[in-house]
Amino acid sequence: MKRVTGIGGIFFKAKNHAKMIDWYDKHLGIKAHPEYGTAFEWLDKDDPQKAGMTTWSVFKQESKYFDQPYMINYRVDDLDALLKALEAEGVEIDPKRETAEYGKFAWIVDPEGNRIELWEPPK
């Protein structure tokens, strides 16, 4: 079973949300929606007909979506199988799950307490 297949997204918090979005636009050319961020699109190296994306988003400092200053979202092929394997290995798994038109989500915690998002894109 494949585990992580790539980075699905990078999310971080900013004290001044609007200023941070403007800075990244002005200096790095990253044009981000204030609520949804942006997506960097790419083609799968094993199947160039298959498109993918990596999300980049700035969250407001007070956001409760994650507690630490940043969170990485990892792409996975089979979320349920991976969660089963991680559970058997003793990894801390948040019981919360989300399913949306853009995929399935679950969260785990690393040994230092960092929340990690796992994302299975829709097939």
Q: Which residues contact 99 (CB under 8 A, 6 or more apart)?
A: 105
Q: pTM here?
A: 0.86
Give pLDDT tens digits for 111-120: 889 999 999 9
Backbone phi and psi for residue 17, each to the nearest 5 degrees, phi listed first = -55, -55
Q: Which of 3.40.50.150, 3.90.220.20, 3.10.180.10, 3.40.50.300 would CATH assign to domain 4-120?
A: 3.10.180.10
Give pLDDT tens digits for 39-77: 999 998 888 998 889 999 999 999 999 999 999 999 999
CA dihedral (3, 70, 51, 105) positive or negative? positive
In the numeric block, which tokens belong to residue 93?
């798994």
CA-wise closest residue to 32 among 65, 64, 62, 54: 54
